A and B are shown apart, each in its own frame.
Chain A
Amino acid sequence: MTAYLKLDHIDKSFARGGQVSEVLRDIRLTIEKGEFVSIIGHSGCGKSTLLNLIAGLTKVSAGAVLLEDKEVDSPGPERAVVFQNHSLLPWLTVYDNINLAVSKVLGSTKTKAERHDWIMRNLDLVQMAHARDKRPAEISGGMKQRVGIARALAMEPKILLLDEPFGALDALTRAHLQDAVMDIHSRLGSTTIMITHDVDEAVLLSDRIVMMTNGPAATIGEVLAVPLARPRRRVELSSDRTFLRCREAVLKFLYERHRFVEAAE
């Protein structure tokens, strides 16, 4: 088994005013090319910190993030992030938001016409081509998140990092976007890491689910493989035995063995 992405004994602690708080301890994980991995855990367990470490937005305290055997220590377009609150630039249209990324990342290798086709391909992929000239303020939350995904995909990333991408959406919009992500993943085979706190979402989308223990000094408690065939359909799966077994396993981990203690904060 070749590791595409390797998290090698990662520790992360933050120092604030002389006090050092250890957030993550000894994170070890290997992810294969094309895999869809979810990271789930209670809030405050350091999931987002872990994603920022992989993205290179935060530096590790010890250990290393290795992508294709090369160490990652700064952010870059080959690890594109879809942020929870979309973070589209409000003064640019949908098209220009993606164009900013495409002309920076692919400006030297593609001609202008090729770049235009590439932007439109990605907008088509998330079914947002119709809104290309709208500004982010003029489209709904779900649509913004679609554009955020298109922007990330347009960077041709080696790994797609999703930071609770559907957290701020209502349940129906969330289901639509989950289907869109599954569809994109099956078409492009993109290696994806998703942070989530939604058990159903994790089981539905993932090949493997990484369950985090509670902080401080959180680590990976358990990794669950989800042996469900793709394409997956949410309606059929709702009574599927494997789906239910996986779901139960995650729920047991989160609510029996690692209950969230509110007073810890």
Chain B
Amino acid sequence: MSIQTIEDTKVKAFPSPDKPAEVIAFTAKARRRFDPVVIAGKLASALVPPAIVIALMLVVWQIACSSPTASLPPPSQVWNEAYDLIAHPFFDNGPQDIGLAWRVLISLQRVAIGFGLAAIVGVALGALVGQSVWAMRGLDPVFQILRTVPPLAWLPLSLAAFRDSSPSAIFVIFITSIWPVIINTAVGVRNIPEDYRNVSRILRLNQFEFFLKIMVPAAAPYIFTGLRIGIGLSWLAIVAAEMLTGGVGIGFFIWDAWNSSRLPDIIVALAYIGVTGFCLDRLVAAVGAIVTRGTTAK
């Protein structure tokens, strides 16, 4: 039934193939932008299938958790008990009682600092490892070992070193997300075509100019692959780190809710974390797509 609906909108969405040859690029673009049928069709084909799946999951969940002996709350109970959290993400009732959106923003701030540092240091180290054979021989084994250390294993050490929870959480994000950035950048730099290097040698570009004008744009697709993996890892790490370091982030909220047995709150927080992680991933991917527009097309 629902699949039938999608098929119908799709059929409507395609422009009639009567006179495609006469449409010049400009008008085609203008027409596409203002054609509500096409936009609605595209939206429907993107939104309807996941909506159906989510609806089905909610139904199964409701049925599975409806019995009085169920250990987890069904969606209806989540909706009733955590309604404040769902409907008012931006409320602010004092230092420890704030909306989930604020908590996510505080966590995002930590991620921005930790991941930003990891991106800068990671690209620089990756460039070094990709460029110099000796740096690679020396550093690569160390990186390969350190990158397998789980994020939380770094936490006691960083707590001891920084003696404060906030920089420790940032350090954990940094150390978790830097490895894919380093490794992918190094691969990208190693794959720069010899011709580009020759061009820069003939122009006598210095190291800095070569880095900015040849290396970074040429390795950009690889760098963004690394950044995308890195931001995913850093979002994983922040939640875990905040559970232990405290504060007002979304990770600590879950820990706090668990300690006061507010399971519905945890479920809402999970949804927030998932959606935010998804948005972060898409954001980096979108920036990458814009930046590497020219590089990937040969």
Contact = CB atoms under 8 A, between A and B. Distances in A.
Interface of A: 55, 57, 74-77, 79-81, 83, 85, 87, 89-92, 100-101, 104-105, 135, 137, 155
Top 5 nearest A-B pairs (CB, nearest first) are: A87-B195, A91-B294, A137-B297, A75-B201, A91-B217
A104 B217 contact: no
A104 B209 CA distance: 10
Contacts of A101: 203
A77 B297 contact: no
B68 interface: no
B205 A89 contact: no
A108 to B, nearest CB: 12
A116 B36 CA distance: 44
Given A100-B213, A135-B294, A137-B294, A89 B202 contact: no
A65 to B, nearest CB: 15
13 contacts: A57-B198, A74-B201, A75-B202, A77-B202, A81-B202, A87-B193, A89-B218, A90-B297, A92-B294, A104-B204, A104-B209, A105-B203, A135-B297
Given A87-B193, A135-B297, A137-B297, A75 B198 contact: yes
* Interface of chain A: mostly helix, strand, loop or mixed: loop
Contact of A104 (B203, B292, B293, B297): B203
B144 interface: no
B195 A83 contact: yes
B38 interface: no
A106 to B, nearest CB: 11
Contacts of A74: 201
Nearest to A83: B195
Most chain B CB within a 10 A radius of its CB, from A80, A81, A104: A104
Interface of B: 193, 195-196, 198-199, 201-205, 209, 213-214, 217-218, 220, 292-295, 297-298
Given A104-B209, A135-B297, A137-B298, A89 B203 contact: no
A137 B293 CA distance: 11
Contact of B295 (A77, A85, A90): A90
A77 B201 contact: no
Contacts of A79: 202
A90 B217 CA distance: 9
A57 B201 contact: yes
Contacts of B201: 57, 74-75
Contact of B294 (A57, A76, A90, A105): A90
Nearest to A90: B294
Contacts of B294: 90-92, 135, 137
A83 B202 CA distance: 12
A231 to B, nearest CB: 30
Contacts of A80: 202
A104 to B, nearest CB: 5
A55 B217 CA distance: 25
The interface centre, meaning the residue of A57, A77, A89 with most chain B CB atoms within 10 A of its CB, is A89
A104 B205 contact: yes
Contact of B195 (A75, A85, A92, A135): A85
Nearest to B195: A87
B185 to A, nearest CB: 16
Given A83-B195, A87-B193, A90-B294, 10 more contacts: A55-B202, A57-B202, A85-B195, A87-B198, A87-B199, A89-B217, A91-B295, A92-B294, A104-B203, A135-B297
A102 to B, nearest CB: 10
A75 B198 CA distance: 8
A264 to B, nearest CB: 25
Contacts of B213: 100
B131 to A, nearest CB: 18
Nearest to B217: A91
B196 A75 contact: no
Residue with the greatest number of chain B CB neighbours at <10 A, chosen from A55, A85, A90: A90
Contacts of B295: 90-91
A175 to B, nearest CB: 25
A74 B205 CA distance: 13
Contacts of A75: 198, 201-202, 204
B161 to A, nearest CB: 41
A75 to B, nearest CB: 4
Contacts of A155: 202-203
A159 B271 CA distance: 66
A77 B202 CA distance: 5
Contacts of B198: 57, 75, 81, 83, 87
Given A90-B294, A92-B294, A76 B202 contact: yes
In the complex, which of the residues B202, B292, B295 has the most CB atoms of chain A within 10 Å of its own CB atom?
B202
Contacts of A105: 203
A100 B209 CA distance: 10
A77 B203 contact: yes
A79 B203 CA distance: 10
Contacts of B217: 89, 91
A245 to B, nearest CB: 37
